[in-house]
Amino acid sequence: MSEAGPLLLDARGLRKQYDTREGARITALEEVSVSLADGEFVSVVGPSGCGKSTMMKLIAGIVKPSAGEIIYRGQVVTRAQRGMGVVFQSPVLLPWLTVLENVLVPIRVLRMDRAPASARARELLELVGLTGFESKYPSELSGGMQQRVGIVRSLIHDPGLLLMDEPFGALDALTRERMSLALQRIWLANRKTVFFITHSILEAVFLSDRVIVMSARPGRILQEFTIPFPRPRDFDLTSTAEFGDFAREIRHLLGASVDV
Ligand SMILES: Nc1ncnc2c1ncn2[C@@H]1O[C@H](COP(=O)(O)OP(=O)(O)OP(=O)(O)O)[C@@H](O)[C@H]1O
Ligand SMILES: [Mg+2]
């Protein structure tokens, strides 16, 4: 049921090598090619250390590839992209700003209109269960709440592409399910293109049009799965045989790659 639009992002032949302080050279990614259609929700799963965060940083223009190139909206990515929203593995909030001010940082940086953004911020905060916390400071929030503020901040300037690096990793299981549903709602309402990194096979299959499975380091793409279930999806879907088939196949693939 993917209604994929035109190509938004095309990454070809990405390789990334890091030089460690001990003078060794690590190949984090090898020959990785990914394309994202406008409006598509694509997840990446793979073992720890296989280069998922690296791939996201390359796409965001924060880290430069050792080989290959990334084309976003027809242009080669050479530096950090303003049109992308990024959620990092751990929340990076400014401790001296309130929740609302933190959410509005991209608006300030991009010099966008504050009044409509504030209204949108309140709507999004409500969607993630943070109404009433607008004037709190990050130190007054739990880790999971801070992460939710980070997610709202990544959406506030209505980015064309949302890059999310294990955004729900720090959340408890129940909040995680709620956040998956909230993200699905946001995605259905705005049809953002989302590139979503997760350790959870269930989350990946539940949310995505496509799931990319990566091998252990050096990270390569092992296989891609197209997930056909219509939306909106609810968690009952996860107990169906069809859903289980996808989850099992991905788990086996990952198991095989980790054991090698
Ligand atoms: N700045 C860096 N300098 C040197 N090595 C790095 C650097 N960043 C990442 N690496 C190495 O590159 C590999 C891939 O790291 P990366 O963070 O992309 O993995 P990941 O798939 O996101 O892992 P996880 O699931 O644990 O978050 C790892 O072996 C890591 O040690
Ligand atoms: Mg990572």
| Reported confidence tier of residue 4, pLDDT bands at 50, 70, 90 | low
- Looking at the predicted structure, is the pLDDT value of residue 83 above 80? yes
Q: What's the average model confidence in pLDDT over 95-115? A: 95
Render pLDDT for 155-198 as a digit per residue (tens, 0 to 9): 898 898 999 999 988 788 888 888 899 889 888 988 889 999 99
Instruction: Tell me the CATH architecture of domain 39-65+79-259.
Output: 3-Layer(aba) Sandwich (3.40)
- The pTM for the full model equals 0.92
Is 28 a pocket residue for ligand 1 (Cβ < 6 Å)?
yes
**What is the position in ligand 1's atom list of the atom closest to the CA of 166?**
27
18 lines ligand 1 (CB under 6 A): yes
Least confident piece of the model among 19-23, 240-244, 247-251: 19-23
The reported pLDDT for the residue numbered 185 is 87
Residues 139-157, mean pLDDT to the nearest whole number: 91
Number of Cβ within a 10 Å radius of residue 82: 13
Distance from the alpha carbon of residue 86 to the mean position of ligand 2, in angstroms: 13
Is the pLDDT assigned to residue 1 strictly greater than 50? no
**Centre of ligand 2 from the C-alpha of residue 183, in Å:** 20
